[in-house]
Chain A
Amino acid sequence: MAEETLGFQYSTLQQERETVTLGMWAFLATEVLFFGALIAAYFSYRIWFGAEFIAAAKMTKVALGTANTAVLLTSSACMAMAVTSHEAGSRRAPVLWLIATALLGLSFVVIKGTEWFLEYQEHLVPALNFDLARHGGVAEIFFIFYFCATGLHALHLLIGICLVCWLAFAIGTGRLKPGSTTRLIGLYWHFVDIVWIFLFPLIYLAGRNG
């Protein structure tokens, strides 16, 4: 920590740490509301359309969704290890943990893409090839929600993967000293994980026993 350079506008490292953390949380609060609006829409559909909406949720791939959740939770643990090891002053360990995080993030996107491809084959993609006669209008509404929610989540994850790759590069080449940057990117990564923690039961687990 002694090598850390202090921004000109701060008087102590502690003050800088508190300020940037607060700023990141202010941004994350807007993200909570951004994804929260989607989840509120889900609940209103679910209440309004009832059993038909839940039946549509049954067409999602629960095994792939569960595997993807495990992948993302593990990536968050790797990210936490990267932050901890970087703050302890290590240079090699955080780079390796960050590479693991990025690879797990990429596997999530690949599994997600596989699901989308399977859904395309089953004519479940609204606006592209949705089979209205076979699946019905309520199922189309479910899948519009599904593609908006998972698409926006995947976009956030791709941004996260880019940030993590940049971070690994910057730490590896010694351009980035231990400081707040790793923690801030960590906060973003964990937030994307939290969004998925809520999307997963709503999308994949609805109506599994009915």
Chain B
Amino acid sequence: MSAGTICRCWLALLILLALTTGSAFIPLGTANLFVSLGIAVTKALIVLLFFMELKTSSALVRVFAAAGFFWLMIMIALTTADYTHRTDQRVPLDQVR
């Protein structure tokens, strides 16, 4: 990895940080969350591919690196799917008795 690449990555990371903080103050509704998470994923990919050298690593190392994130996606997807589909309905007491 050359010093030039590191410098460009660092600049890109700081620009993305400015974008994500700036975007949080623009009212976009739920899109705010997805914009900030999208930028976070982009920043993480820059760190993973260049600083952590996954771009030049062997396929086996990349699979190991992807495995943790893959299982995490399953955990988060199932957890959020569960919680988004729960309803908080109050049942009158006499129906429970």
Q: Chain A interface (Cβ within 8 Å of chain B)?
A: 18, 21-22, 25-26, 28-33, 36-37, 39-40, 43-44, 47-48, 62, 66, 69-70, 73-74, 76-77, 79-81, 83-84, 183, 186-187, 190-191, 193-194, 197-198, 200-201, 204-206, 208-210
Contact = CB atoms under 8 A, between A and B. Distances in A.
Contacts of B3: 81, 84
A44 B80 contact: yes
B64 A70 contact: no
Contact of A190 (B14, B25, B51, B57): B51
B47 A190 contact: yes
B83 A205 contact: no
Given A187-B52, A201-B36, A210-B27, A22 B60 contact: yes
Mostly, the A contact residues are: helix
Given A74-B10, A201-B40, A37 B75 contact: yes
A185 B57 CA distance: 17
A110 B33 CA distance: 28
B24 A201 contact: yes
Interface in B1-49: 1-3, 6-7, 9-10, 13-14, 17, 20-21, 24-28, 32-33, 36-37, 39-40, 43-44, 47-48
Contact of B40 (A183, A191, A197): A197
13 contacts: A25-B65, A29-B68, A33-B71, A43-B83, A70-B17, A80-B50, A190-B48, A191-B52, A193-B47, A194-B44, A198-B40, A198-B44, A209-B25
B58 interface: yes
